């Protein structure tokens, strides 16, 4: 996916058709599903465990795991979980053991497991620059609880991206430490949003807050974007220069401004950065492209 | 001890049941579905029902009077009923002992369905789904 031209000075990354393929997020994953592979897919964002080509478990550092979710609010105690892993881990039957020994009901386990699976998969299948790897091997120790087809997980991941984008198109709050703006919030803050808001301290990220609450991280992203849309929360500015002050006006200004293809390179600190968005708006209104463009600008500014 | 599928199949045994689903109202994801969906599309139905469920669950106006600080972990709303010319939709929030935002969605044919009975049964199913 990364097509960064390295040596020559100004050639821009090509980006004629930058869009999420509707078929699948990862060709490798589709292939593994087709060959009914068992093992673990390792991507930058975390791990996706497959059994017979279906997703049986997902884990990501960005979000609490099944154990954390169950233990956080007392659905299960830590000893119970440890016992189950010790007793049934090697047989890959931890889920079954939890239900059979009466520690948790089947319905509760399925609900929590599915929630955690789609949640972690969202982060595992997030944009990544590193290549994915797959290790064939044993199924996950949890054992089959409710396997999900790969295509379903991918479709849901794309849908979730669109959902977040619809709520508030700026993804800055997804990963950065969060700040309360202190602006009076016009819309009412819901109880779940209130729990998130209470934990925003300029240091914690959405992932930290999810862990503190024992809540799937995507749920926190949704609430944080809603709060951002309401003006209550913002991403703490990080040392990386933002997208606006692009030091290379040629990038933004080139296509629209001058019809003459003359190398009018040393365009002075004009209003180039301001002009860029409007000039480019029509062909590049696609959110993925704007995001990629901002990423590119930030990288080039380094 | 029923899982999601057993719970949905039980819901389908109610008179007039056309379809049922377990849905997460934060993301709009259908965690399980059975039978038909309006328009034949369970995923779209789940996303749309989730929007409605979220509004009901998150607005103070629909919480009980005595839940003054609104801090109860459980959803303040028990269920939602929607009636149209030919069917009912019943959305029942599922209380869980872990952090979640899940509801049961039952689609009932109006001619054969018994709303009062369905409401009682769905409440029982929601309880059993989580507590076993």
- CATH no. for residue B67? 3.30.450.30
Helix (H) or strand (E) holding A100: helix A94-100
Intra-chain end-to-end CA distance of chain A, in Å: 20
| Check: complex ipTM more than 0.85 | yes
Which phi and psi angles does B130 have, rounded to 5°? -100, -35
Instruction: Give percent of chain A above pLDDT 90.
Output: 54
Q: Which of A111, A191, A218 sits opposite B96 (nearest CB)?
A: A111
How many domains does one find in chain B? 1
Task: Mutate one of B98, B101, B124, B128 to test the A interface: name it (highest A CB count within 10 A).
Answer: B98
Residue range(s) defining the domain that contains residue B37: 4-131
Instruction: Name the nearest CA neighbour of B102 among A108, A53, A41, A73.
Output: A108
Which pTM does this prediction carry? 0.79
Lowest mean pLDDT among A280-284, B25-29, B58-62, B98-102: A280-284
Q: What CA dihedral angle connects B118, B121, B122 and B128, to 10 degrees?
A: -170
The string of pLDDT tens digits covering residues B110-132 is 999 999 999 999 999 999 998 87
Checking if the pLDDT of B45 tops 70, the result is yes
Q: Is the pLDDT of residue A14 over 80?
A: no
Measure A72 CA to nearest chain B CA, in Å.
Answer: 7
Distance between CA atoms of residues A204 and A94, nearest Å: 32
Q: Which of residues 50-109 of A touch B (CB under 8 A)?
A: 69-70, 72-75, 99, 102, 104-108
For B23, the token pair is 């849905």
What's the confidence (pLDDT) of residue B69?
Answer: 56
Confidence band for A183, pLDDT divided at 50, 70 and 90: confident
Residue B129: enclosing H or E segment and its boundaries?
Answer: helix B115-131
Q: For residue A174, give the DSSP letter.
A: G
Do A218 and B27 count as a contact with CB atoms less than 8 A apart?
yes
């Amino acid at each position: 996916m990364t097509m960064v031209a390295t040596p020559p000075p100004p050639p821009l990354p090509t980006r004629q058709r930058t869009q999420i393929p509707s078929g699948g997020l990862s060709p490798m994953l589709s292939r593994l599903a087709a060959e009914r592979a068992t093992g673990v897919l390792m991507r930058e964002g975390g791990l996706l465990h497959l059994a017979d080509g279906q997703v049986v478990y997902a884990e990501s550092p960005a979000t609490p795991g099944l154990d954390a979710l169950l233990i956080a609010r007392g659905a299960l105690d830590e000893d119970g979980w440890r016992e189950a892993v010790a007793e049934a881990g090697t047989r890959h039957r931890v889920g079954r053991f939890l239900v059979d020994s009466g520690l948790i009901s089947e319905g509760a386990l399925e609900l929590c497991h599915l929630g955690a699976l789609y949640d972690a998969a969202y982060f595992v299948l997030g944009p990544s620059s590193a290549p994915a790897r797959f290790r064939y091997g044993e199924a996950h120790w949890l054992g089959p609880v409710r396997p999900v087809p790969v295509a379903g997980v991918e479709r849901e991941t794309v849908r979730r991206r669109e959902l977040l984008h619809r709520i508030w198109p700026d993804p800055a709050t997804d990963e950065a430490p969060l700040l309360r703006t202190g602006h009076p919030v016009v819309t009412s803050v819901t109880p779940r949003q209130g729990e998130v808001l209470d934990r925003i301290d300029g240091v914690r990220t959405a992932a930290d807050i999810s862990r503190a609450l024992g809540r799937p991280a995507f749920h926190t992203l949704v609430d944080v974007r809603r709060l951002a849309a309401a003006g209550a929360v913002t991403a703490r500015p990080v040392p990386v220069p933002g997208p606006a002050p692009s030091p290379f006006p040629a990038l933004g200004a080139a296509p629209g401004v001058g019809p003459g293809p003359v190398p009018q390179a040393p365009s002075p600190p004009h209003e180039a950065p301001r002009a860029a968005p409007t000039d480019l708006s029509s062909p590049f209104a696609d959110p993925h492209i704007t995001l990629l463009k901002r990423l590119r600008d930030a990288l080039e500014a380094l | 001890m029923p899982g999601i599928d057993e719970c949905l199949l039980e819901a389908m045994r109610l008179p007039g049941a056309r379809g049922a689903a377990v849905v997460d109202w934060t993301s709009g994801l259908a965690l399980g579905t059975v039978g038909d969906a309006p328009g034949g599309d369970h995923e779209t139905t789940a996303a749309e029902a989730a929007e409605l469920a979220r509004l009901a669950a998150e607005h103070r106006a629909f919480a009980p009077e005595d839940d003054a600080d609104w801090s109860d972990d459980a959803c303040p709303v028990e269920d939602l009923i929607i009636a149209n010319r030919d069917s009912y939709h019943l959305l029942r929030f599922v209380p869980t002992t872990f952090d979640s935002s899940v509801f049961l969605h039952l689609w009932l044919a109006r001619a054969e369905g018994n709303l009062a009975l369905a409401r009682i049964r769905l409440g029982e199913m929601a309880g059993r789904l989580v507590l076993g």
